[in-house]
Structure 1
Amino acid sequence: MNDALARQPRPRLTREWWRGATIYQVYPRSFADSNGDGIGDLPGITARLDHIASLGVDAVWLSPFFPSPMNDFGYDVSDYCDVDPIFGTLADFDALVARGHELGLKIIIDQVYAHTSDQHGWFTESRSDRSNAKADWYVWADAKPDGSPPSNWQSVFGGPAWTWDARRRQYYMHNFLSSQPQLNVHNPDVQQALLDTAAFWLDRGVDGFRVDAINFAMHDPALTDNPPAPPGNGLRTRPFDFQLHIHNQSHPDIPLFIERLRALLDSYGERFTVAEVGGTDSDGEMKAFTADDRRFNSAYGFDFLYADRLTPALVREAAERWPEAPGIGWPSWAFSNHDAPRAVSRWAPPHARDAYARMAMLLLLCLRGDVFIYQGEELGLPQVTIGYDDLKDPEAIANWPLTLGRDGARTPMPWCPDSAGLGFSAAKPWLPIGEEHAALAVGVQERQETSMLALTRRLVALRQSSDALLLGEMHVVAAADNVLAFERAVAGERLLCVFNLGEAPVDWRPAQPGAWRVIESVGAVDDWRLGGFAGLVARHVA
């Protein structure tokens, strides 16, 4: 095929908007503060939506902004159908949705169905006695004869997953903080109440949900003790790490609730759902939760989010668990988010962070599935080191100094290098500003043609222009040492994506080098020689 013919535009394949989408995650507390209280808010996000739209992404995912005592910064919801005053009002949310849609952005919000805050009205009623209308809306159980908790289940955040309540003279269950009581999602009335909250937001125009910790939504009603976990090589910092979590989560009836939720969303047209699923059997659960086009559209786990190193083998294993086959759902991938240390700080040597961030962005955008870009990832932001006195994350405080680093990934977005708070807020921000972030601020990178920000826009545009990257099969052809190579292909388009995940240059050639023409590269690429942390995308032309 000659170059002139190869350059002729091909008819684009039709697809649901979310399939192959690039989704930008906003952590509202840390994105933009409009009212000078040091905390980001919805009007601040609305004012900065142009930045997100300029990246070329399809959608925005907003982490929780609902009323909450903020013990877990919004993942402890006290009212599912309102906006916390620190973030604004329902009118502010409606304005955000309207502006997002004007810019061509879909709006996705979090839904937290496994637990609420202990200040939610449902829990207030449920704990009042054992005979009220919501007495069975949470997981309550009697003490053992010796007064100890009903089972040996442990909380993710440390200590037993049970807290004694003197009002009911029973224990209530909580997989996370004691202020996050576990909903009894086995109860049909609870399921209907959750569906009603989903409908509330769908009626306000949201385009989909990211569903938090859905594999924690149902427990074993028999309250069977969890068995001990076998000895492993990992460092155990919590009692939670000493058990196999067979009975406190992952009940086989969870998919039946998911089907009810999916039916509701389908009644609103083309809406999107992506599940967050963690744990030792996350792969099996993600497959179950996305099976047969009757459940979630997609799911993402923690293949990359908690990985200490990015290796060709890791990418190969993750990708090959999601083949294009009947009954297999659609994957989603994230390298960074609000719960994990930023990838560039986990994976890159400090002196090569910029090069690594560029290579990692190209790799992320070449993967088969939906991809999530966490705020600041388009700038190459590194993790911020937070001193103990400045910590806000309850898990970090409880497990100090062995923390997951969530606060360090949640620091304010840097907008203007010469403004107070780097343009995030005129007041003292709720978390410290990263010292290295001023030089990486949006205002700095906007003036640089070769910045990480400019590259991100270019790479997102590449993905959006290619049916092979959006929808194509993925076949790994090399995953040894530091070389990762895979093909993405649909009828009429075949791409080869090659990456050097190491610092030393490598030479790697496909079987027929002349059959490929490089259409994009990052780092030092000379013919098929890739410098440290370099990558390329080539199109098949012969």
Structure 2
Amino acid sequence: MNRLSRLEADSTAATVWWRGATIYQIYPRSFCDANGDGIGDLPGITSRLDYVASLGVDAIWLSPFFTSPMKDFGYDVADYCDVDPIFGKLADFDALVARAHDLGLKVLIDQVYAHTSDQHAWFEESRQSRSNAKADWYVWADPKPEGSPPSNWQSVFGGPAWTWDARRGQYYLHNFLTSQPQLNCHNPDVQDALLGVARFWLDRGVDGFRLDALNFAMHDPLLRDNPPAPDDGKPRTRPFDFQLRRYNQGHADIPAFIERIRALTDEYAAVFTMAEVGGEDALAEMKLFTRGEGRLNSAYGFDFLYAEALTPQLVATSQAHWPDEPEMGWPSWAFENHDAPRALSRWCEPDQQEPFARLKATLFAALRGDIIIYQGEELGLTQVDIPFEQLQDPEAIANWPLTLSRDGARTPMPWAAQDEFGGFTTGQPWLPLGAENLARAVDRQDGDPASLLNLTRQLGVLRRAHPALREGRFSLLHADDSRLVFRREYLGEAVLCGFNFSAKAADWPTGIAPQGKQLASVNGADTGHLAPFGAVLVEER
């Protein structure tokens, strides 16, 4: 227990703020609306930052707020260096950063480097001819002799990943919507332009970036066909699911671009960089993108986001993927986000949601890695069933009814239970809040010491106060169908963490006798037994 790990030795010299940080994700459209148009905005976020700071988090992550036609709600960027008018102005962003920093919160923003909107000035120039200055800033290709697309690649949102453009007489690549043309990040000029975007925001005071869909940033220049995916028994709702995405993503040159990004961010002290990487090769790519000291700081894991159940084995396996070893990156975890169904709606029965939410929150606070709370998760929000006629998400509309319905996890934040629109807006909200979530509003939970909101605050304080929980090694002691026990250790401090994932009481596993100060307990668990959905953290002596 007294042996210093590599990370402990490094941290004794210089602890960085982001290692073990708690990050709060804000989806700007749905957080708080200051001008009454039914869509959240930057001034609305600024007005609620005191609330965010009260959660004991270290940073906020803002999903896109850039100029956009909003066909993919901001992930189709038309101007990387400006704020879309529905969210406010650059001055509003500057005010948000200033207020966040006053409250001790770091500010992270999304960077979308794989594609732009088809309304971006770069693409509008690129599509005009094959000889203009930005002709090869996007991925263009001639048709096959019979006129079909250059390869069999499929779009994430359904249909071929190629669209014909008559002006150039060529196809352009889009891994997502047809209105999201793929940037050619093999081109050094494109890389330079994107690094210029990063510098623009760093100069405005941001503290880091989440790099969206980074493994899509480069394609196979030979445009080889993807092979078919073996049938694993899982539902296939899109042509995209029928392929192994070997050639339209994950190119071997991406790490060299990542090293350029890291070299830039290193010019700004303590900037945090986190890759979003999905797909069947996600783990290998995440480790590649974060390997050593010259690449990204962390990678955003998908282990929990689409899992149908939260199990001891899932936790144990995900933690084992990121051992404390030389050159190994640092993981980041999320149970929920703007793309995945709310966890409580996936992981437990409706009558179990309250105790399960407390178990989930305690487990989250004990994981090794950065943890990312999605807005409303601290309230126990559940997935809202959005009827077809109210859907906004293009993926949900295209794949109805076999859809994850990202809209159901993007519903507005409920601030006041007695208000028709939850205190989110004075106008008609862009999505319905859902009656069940309205009853979980901030004002209902704020003054209740037993609420999930106040438990989340207590766990935030606890994680900050105990380096073993924030930065310590993870040692698995026991994992079976219902029980999970592990130890976190750092600089001589050890915290034993025990969980019961079932609705039946259980004993501590044989041979594990927790002794010491009880730091946290939920649902009646203690050092003597693990109550149904019980969790207990003990500082060992």
TM-score, with structure 1 as normaliser: 0.97
The 8 Å contact of residues 500 and 535 in structure 2, kept in 1 or not, is answered as yes
Cα distance, 1:222 vs structure 2: 0.2
The 8 Å contact of residues 292 and 327 in structure 2, kept in 1 or not, is answered as yes
1:355 corresponding residue in structure 2: 355
RMSD over equivalenced CA pairs, Å: 1.2
Could you report, residue by residue, the CA deviation over 1:492-516 in whole angstroms, capped at 9, with x for unpaired residues? 2011111111111111146352634
In structure 2, distance between residues paired with 1:515 and 1:529: 13
1:452 corresponding residue in structure 2: 452
In structure 1, distance between residues paired with 2:452 and 2:463: 16
CA 1:425–1:13: 2 relative to 1, 3 Å: farther
2:181 corresponding residue in structure 1: 181
1:423 corresponding residue in structure 2: 423
3-state SS in 2 of match to 1:440:
coil
In structure 2, distance between residues paired with 1:431 and 1:114: 28
Amino acid corresponding to residue 32 of structure 1 in structure 2: C
3-state SS in 2 of match to 1:530:
coil
1:291 corresponding residue in structure 2: 291
Provide runs of 4+ in structure 1 moved above 3 Å. 11-14, 514-517
1:388 corresponding residue in structure 2: 388
1:192 corresponding residue in structure 2: 192
Which residues of 2 match residues 71-150 of structure 1 at below 5 A? 71-150=71-150
In structure 1, distance between residues paired with 2:481 and 2:232: 25
3-state SS in 2 of match to 1:291:
coil
2:67 corresponding residue in structure 1: 67
In structure 2, distance between residues paired with 1:514 and 1:156: 48
Amino acid corresponding to residue 200 of structure 2 in structure 1: F
In structure 1, distance between residues paired with 2:204 and 2:113: 19
In structure 2, distance between residues paired with 1:391 and 1:486: 42
In structure 1, distance between residues paired with 2:314 and 2:437: 29
3-state SS in 1 of match to 2:78:
coil
2:4 corresponding residue in structure 1: none
Pair 1:258 & 2:258 matched: yes
1:220 corresponding residue in structure 2: 220
Amino acid corresponding to residue 275 of structure 1 in structure 2: A
3-state SS in 1 of match to 2:79:
coil
Amino acid corresponding to residue 341 of structure 1 in structure 2: P
Which residues of 2 match residues 508-523 of structure 1 at below 5 A? 508-509=508-509, 511=511, 513=513, 515-523=515-523
How many residue pairs are counted as aligned between the two chains?
531
In structure 1, distance between residues paired with 2:177 and 2:503: 42
The 8 Å contact of residues 526 and 536 in structure 2, kept in 1 or not, is answered as no
In structure 1, distance between residues paired with 2:25 and 2:233: 32
In structure 1, distance between residues paired with 2:226 and 2:48: 47
In structure 1, distance between residues paired with 2:142 and 2:54: 55
Which residues of 2 match residues 17-36 of structure 1 at below 5 A? 17-36=17-36
1:3 corresponding residue in structure 2: none
In structure 2, distance between residues paired with 1:149 and 1:512: 61
Cα distance, 1:534 vs structure 2: 1.2
Larger mean Cα displacement after TM superposition, 517-526 or 336-345 = 517-526
2:207 corresponding residue in structure 1: 207
In structure 1, distance between residues paired with 2:296 and 2:540: 34
Could you report, residue by residue, the CA deviation over 1:15-52 in whole angstroms, capped at 9, with x for unpaired residues? 10000000000000000000000000000000000000
Amino acid corresponding to residue 367 of structure 1 in structure 2: L
Could you report, residue by residue, the CA deviation over 1:372-431 in whole angstroms, capped at 9, with x for unpaired residues? 000001111111111101100111111111111210000000001122311000111000
Larger mean Cα displacement after TM superposition, 520-529 or 126-135 = 520-529
Cα distance, 1:433 vs structure 2: 1.1
In structure 2, distance between residues paired with 1:416 and 1:512: 45
Could you report, residue by residue, the CA deviation over 1:176-200 in whole angstroms, capped at 9, with x for unpaired residues? 0000000000000000000000000
The 8 Å contact of residues 217 and 254 in structure 2, kept in 1 or not, is answered as yes
The 8 Å contact of residues 13 and 467 in structure 1, kept in 2 or not, is answered as no
The 8 Å contact of residues 12 and 467 in structure 1, kept in 2 or not, is answered as no
Cα distance, 1:12 vs structure 2: 8.8
3-state SS in 1 of match to 2:81:
coil
In structure 2, distance between residues paired with 1:513 and 1:499: 14
Could you report, residue by residue, the CA deviation over 1:199-224 in whole angstroms, capped at 9, with x for unpaired residues? 00000000000000000000000000
The 8 Å contact of residues 139 and 182 in structure 2, kept in 1 or not, is answered as yes
Unaligned ranges ≥5, structure 1: 1-10
The 8 Å contact of residues 383 and 409 in structure 2, kept in 1 or not, is answered as yes
1:525 corresponding residue in structure 2: 525
CA 1:514–1:217: 2 relative to 1, 3 Å: closer
The 8 Å contact of residues 509 and 528 in structure 1, kept in 2 or not, is answered as no
Larger mean Cα displacement after TM superposition, 525-534 or 379-388 = 525-534
1:409 corresponding residue in structure 2: 409
3-state SS in 1 of match to 2:328:
coil
Cα distance, 1:438 vs structure 2: 2.0
1:440 corresponding residue in structure 2: 440
3-state SS in 2 of match to 1:82:
strand
Amino acid corresponding to residue 57 of structure 2 in structure 1: V
Identity rate of aligned residues, in percent? 64
3-state SS in 2 of match to 1:168:
coil
CA 1:34–1:514: 2 relative to 1, 3 Å: closer
In structure 2, distance between residues paired with 1:111 and 1:177: 18
Could you report, residue by residue, the CA deviation over 1:204-260 in whole angstroms, capped at 9, with x for unpaired residues? 000000000000000000000000001111000000000000000000100100000
Amino acid corresponding to residue 403 of structure 2 in structure 1: T
Which residues of 2 match residues 148-163 of structure 1 at below 5 A? 148-163=148-163
3-state SS in 2 of match to 1:240:
helix
1:236 corresponding residue in structure 2: 236
Larger mean Cα displacement after TM superposition, 246-255 or 12-21 = 12-21
2:307 corresponding residue in structure 1: 307
Amino acid corresponding to residue 113 of structure 1 in structure 2: Y
1:377 corresponding residue in structure 2: 377
CA 1:413–1:194: 2 relative to 1, 3 Å: same
In structure 1, distance between residues paired with 2:279 and 2:140: 24
Pair 1:325 & 2:356 matched: no
Amino acid corresponding to residue 43 of structure 1 in structure 2: P
3-state SS in 1 of match to 2:292:
helix
Cα distance, 1:14 vs structure 2: 5.2
Cα distance, 1:320 vs structure 2: 0.2
In structure 1, distance between residues paired with 2:488 and 2:285: 26
3-state SS in 2 of match to 1:293:
coil
Cα distance, 1:519 vs structure 2: 1.9
1:7 corresponding residue in structure 2: none
